[in-house]
Amino acid sequence: MLSNNVTGYMNSRRSRIEIIAEILRIAKGGARKTRIVYGANINFRLLDEYLKKLERAGLIVEETGKNSIIRTTEKGIEYLRQYKNLESLGIL
């Protein structure tokens, strides 16, 4: 049997779905990587992994240039809607 400390720690970890939702929420109005890293409480290496996957899935776009901006697409906004629906049902 797991102790309360271990169980509490395991329950407090976020799922990939939750991290993705947080990234999409932060990038909804456009954000730089630094803002997303601090807002989603993840490191740059992990953020880069997520951004590649999210861009391939069409959930974000990265506007490159002097100051690269990440924006949530309509498909990403739909992901957030579905996430909120599941959350409101107590599934997440």
| Residue-level pLDDT at 7 | 42
**How many H helices and E strands in the chain?**
5, 2
Fold annotation for 13-88: Arc Repressor Mutant, subunit A (1.10.10)
Gap between the Cα atoms of 20 and 6, Å rounded: 25
What pLDDT sits at residue 27? 98
pLDDT tens column, 7-61: 444 456 889 999 999 999 999 999 999 999 999 999 999 999 999 999 999 999 9
Mean pLDDT over 61-87 rounds to 94
Report how far apart the first and last C-alpha atoms of the chain are (Å, whole number): 24
Integer angstrom CA distances of residue 57 from 4, 47, 51, 61: 38, 15, 10, 10
